[in-house]
Amino acid sequence: MIRGLIRKLGLVKTALVITFIASSASFVLYLISTSVFGNYNIRGVCNSIIFPCVIAPILSIIFLRITVQLDLSEKALHESKEKYRSIIENIEDGYYEVDADGNFVFFNDSLCRILGYSRADLMGMNHRKLIEKEDVDKVYKTFNHVFTTGEPFKGIDWEIITSDGRKCRIDVSVSLVRDENNNPKGFRGIIRDMTARKQAETALKESNEKYRQLLNHAPTGIYEIDFIKGKLTSVNDVLCEYTGYSRDELLSMSIYDLMTRESQKIFISRLEKLFNGEKIPDSVEYQVKTKDGQLIWALLHAKYFYENGSPKGATVVIHKIDDLKKQQEETRRLEDQLRQAQKMEAIGTLAGGIAHDFNNILSAIMGYTEVSLLRVVGDDKLKQHLQKVLKACNRARDMVKQILAFSRQSDYERKPIRISQVVKEAGKMLQASLPATTDIRMDIDPASGIIDADDIQIHQIMMNLCTNAAYAMKDKGGILGISLSNIELGEKDVAAHPDLKPGSFLKLSISDTGGGISSEVMDRMFDPYFTTKPKGEGTGLGLSIVHGLVKAHSGFLTVESDFGHGSTFHVFLPKTENEFIPEKVESADMPSGSEKILFIDDEQSLADVGKQMLEYLGYCVTIRTSSVEALAHFKSDLKKFDLVITDMTMPELTGDKLSQQILELRPDIPIIICTGHSEHITEKRSREMGIKAFVVKPYLIHDLAKIVRQVMDSHS
């Protein structure tokens, strides 16, 4: 009531009210006493009123102040309790209070979270329920020590069991709780979940142990260095093996003690750049001195660490590379071989694509030229010009064959041939491509014999040797000599080649008046990918290919060179007893017919020239430039055509797929498939599919007439 009055009126007004009440009460009591006992006087009246008015305010002020202070103390206590409760409830760690028997009487939400129990379940629960049996005795001793000594206990590592049966590592503190008489009544403390920390400590310990094991059992040397002191601060066993020093010896040595003078210079130079903020390669090669005075090559890879932006040291992995240094040159050579092989593979792919497109172009040129020749009457000069066009086209066709042969995309055909014509043709081709400062002089024996060979490969041998000879004279020019003659070789001549027998050979010689070949180059010039030409000008394959082709023809190759004055390559090829059969000259008469033919090619010019050729031969021809349209047209009347001639490479539906679908519709229809060049179809595969003939572009009208008639006659 008093506190409410103070809050309402304030301290002074409340004191006046109390003074008035006290004075009034004192006067009433005086009147009552005088009425009972008598002795009423003015002095008594004044004393009953004045005395309370003086004394009451003083006493009321004192009383009221005490009351206010008590009120403020209670308020502060309440606020303190609220702060305490707020802190307890909001800390991440668990707070607990248990009675003397170990039953929970107070705790925060964090403890519930750590233990996995609700407040209702945890209240009154005995803490022994949470402890593993083997830890019960340890926990009892801890609490008993705190109970008997009164001293708090911190940093206790226990393992408890949560509500879901999970084991949890906790860090516990215990202190004593006393009652108002200072008698022990229970315990309080903090519980911190240490599971994650313990797992991290375990992981760190395992990591450190793994690092130590890795350091000492790594197959390479590892060390740490302090740049400021120039000392090794850590080394592993492999480094000790490399150098022959013990661990203690290495840790007492300067890094410079292990290096040669040249390696020291490199190390100091790298260190200066590093301290100047320049970027340096992580890897470097040094020569290291071992304890017994030997020198070993070492490859070092460093990971630098810094302090205040300045390099302090490094962790270094060191590999002993003595054997590697010896193999580096061989490795580089193999890498060059692989690189060149990949280039050659790319060239081969390119060659196939060029062959297909170029053969289609040649087909149109040759076809229209032949058709024109057949229609020209009386103009002999025009006929001569057209015949020269055909001859040039034939040479272009042969060149495509050579490109495919070089890229290994066509098969070689060995047969008895006179290579004199091949040599002459190659010489003419070279004359057109070489500068005027190179004088080609040919000496071909007209009676040179016959060998079993592929003319394309012989042409390749010629071109490679002559190209090299011309390159040797590219600066000043000179004489490129080509000779072909018969020669008899005896036992001594073939002694260096056990797989050869004495006998009759052809000798092809290619000479130049260039700078000659040094003895060092002579030893390696037939190695694959070895070249003396600048990068980008040679593959290093020319002589290697020549050597392989000559050997494949059961021959051999020799070289004569006068350094500074020129070189001569001699190719010896064994002559054959097989009979040379000249190519047959096609008869002017061409077989003809009147059958109905469906001709399909996606290039309009080839379709048109094919139609003209076949119509000239008497056939009734329908052309289509779309394989899909051709199939639809064939389906419209399955008996309309007697023969189908189709290109191989076409969009939407290729020639082989088209042929399969046509044969499914009409199995007895003969089909001829044509191709400029394709890896997807061969003559063998086409026959397995039921295709009657396989024609390679470009073809002449004689070829087409002969093949069409053969197919039709065999079918009938």
- Indicate whether 378 pLDDT > 80: no
Burial of 155 from C-beta contacts in 10 A (0-12 / 13-18 / 19+)? exposed
Calpha distance 613→702 (Å, rounded):
10
pLDDT over 90 for what percent of the chain?
21
568: tokens are 């001569």
Highest mean pLDDT among 27-31, 497-501, 504-508: 504-508
Say if residues 264 and 256 touch (Cβ distance below 8 Å).
Answer: yes
Q: Is the pLDDT of residue 586 over 60?
A: no
Q: What is the CATH number of domain 93-199?
A: 3.30.450.20
Check residue 673 and give its pLDDT. 93
Q: Where along the chain do its domains lie? A: 1-62, 93-199, 219-409, 411-576, 596-714
pLDDT band at 286 (very low <50, low <70, confident <90, very high): very high
- Report d(CA 432, CA 436) in Å as an integer: 9
- The structure's pTM equals 0.43
Q: Give the list of residues 6+ apart from residue 674 with CB closer than 8 angstroms, or none.
A: 601, 645, 646, 647, 648, 655, 695, 696, 697, 699
SS3 (DSSP) at 28: helix
Residue 74 and residue 364: Cα distance in Å, rounded? 115
pLDDT at 594: 92
Biggest alpha carbon distance in the chain?
Answer: 185
How far apart CA 143 and CA 155 sit, in angstroms, is 13
Phi, psi of 563 (to 5 degrees): -55, 120
Tell me the mean pLDDT in the region 8-20: 59
Report d(CA 645, CA 709) in Å as an integer: 13
567 and 532 Cβ atoms separated by less than 8 Å: no
Name 65's Cβ contacts closer than 8 Å, sequence gap at least 6: 11
Beta bridge partners of 160: 131, 168
Taking the C-alpha atoms of residue 619 and residue 574, their distance in angstroms, rounded to an integer, is 49
| Highest mean pLDDT (candidates 26-35, 154-163, 359-368) | 359-368
Can you tell me the distance from the alpha carbon of 633 to that of 636, in angstroms, rounded to the nearest whole number?
Answer: 5
**CA-wise closest residue to 661 among 115, 652, 53:** 652
Distance CA 383, CA 366 (A): 14
Dihedrals φ, ψ of 703, to 5°? -60, -45
Please provide the average confidence, as pLDDT, over all residues in the chain. 80
Residue 119 CB neighbour total at 10 angstroms: 12
Residue type, 352: G
Position 412 confidence tier, pLDDT thresholds 50, 70, 90: low
Cα 701 to Cα 695: distance, rounded to the nearest angstrom = 12
**CA separation for the pair 713, 708 (Å, rounded):** 9
> Cβ neighbours of residue 416 under 8 Å, at least 6 residues apart?
450, 451, 452, 576, 578, 579, 580, 581
Strand locations in 588-711, DSSP E? 596-600, 620-624, 643-647, 671-675, 693-696
Strand partners, 284: 300
Closest CA to 17 of 57, 49, 54: 57
Q: Identify which of 202, 288, 206 has the alpha carbon closest to the alpha carbon of residue 244.
A: 288
**Digit-coded pLDDT (tens) for 222-277:** 889 998 888 899 888 888 989 999 989 999 988 889 999 999 999 999 989 988 88
**Per-residue model confidence (pLDDT) at position 44:** 54
Listed range (233-242, 296-305, 406-415, 639-648) with the worst mean pLDDT: 406-415
The strand pair at 295-307 and 283-289 is best described as: antiparallel
Q: Which of 474-488, 551-565, 571-585 shows the lowest per-residue confidence on average (mean pLDDT)?
A: 571-585
Q: Which CATH class is domain 596-714?
A: alpha beta
Closest CA to 175 of 147, 133, 134: 147
- Residues contacting 88, CB < 8 A, separation 6+: 95, 108
Is the CB of residue 419 less than 8 Å from the CB of residue 448? yes
CATH architecture of 219-409: 2-Layer Sandwich (3.30)
Q: Which of 352, 461, 494, 466 shows the shortest CA–CA distance to 409?
A: 352
**pLDDT confidence of residue 540:** 47
Contacts of 348 (CB under 8 A, 6+ apart): 407, 408, 409
**What pLDDT does residue 409 have?**
44
pLDDT of 153-197, one tens digit each? 887 777 888 888 888 888 888 888 888 888 888 898 888 887 777
Distance separating alpha carbons of residues 339 and 550, to the nearest angstrom: 25
Average pLDDT over residues 471-475: 83
- pLDDT confidence tier of residue 507, bands split at 50, 70 and 90: very high
Query: Nearest to residue 624, comparing CAs of 667, 635, 616?
Result: 635
Which of the residue ranges 140-149, 320-329, 493-502, 640-649 has the most confident prediction, judged by mean pLDDT?
Answer: 640-649
* pLDDT attached to residue 660: 93
pLDDT at 505: 92
Higher per-residue confidence, 688 vs 716? 688
Q: What is the pLDDT of residues 421-443, one digit of tens each?
A: 888 888 887 877 788 888 889 99
Which range of 178-182, 335-339, 392-396, 581-585 scores highest in mean pLDDT? It is 178-182
Residue 650 DSSP class? -
411-576: CATH class: alpha beta
Q: What is the mean pLDDT of residues 203-216?
A: 72
CB atoms within 10 A of CB 225: 21
Contact by Cβ (8 Å): 707, 619? no
Higher pLDDT, 716 or 177: 177
- Going by C-alpha positions, the residue among 490, 657, 484 that lies closest to residue 569 is 484
**121 is written with which tokens?**
């379940």
* Residue-by-residue DSSP string for 220-264: SEEEEEETTTTEEEEE-HHHHHHH---HHHHHTSBGGGGB-HHHH
pLDDT at residue 260 in the model = 92
Helix-strand-coil split of the chain, %, nearest 5:
50, 25, 30
Positions of E strands within 387-428 = 415-417
Span 295-343, pLDDT tens digits: 999 999 989 888 888 889 998 999 888 888 878 777 777 776 676 667 6
Could you give the CA distance from residue 196 to residue 295 in angstroms, rounded to a whole number? 51
**Dihedral pair phi/psi, residue 60, rounded to 5°:** -70, -40
Q: What does the block give as tokens for 235?
A: 């080394």
Intrachain domains 411-576 and 596-714 with the same fold: no
Q: How far apart are the first and last CA of the chain?
A: 136
Q: Which pLDDT does position 467 carry in this prediction?
A: 85
Task: Provide the pairing of β-strand 671-675 with 693-696.
Answer: parallel
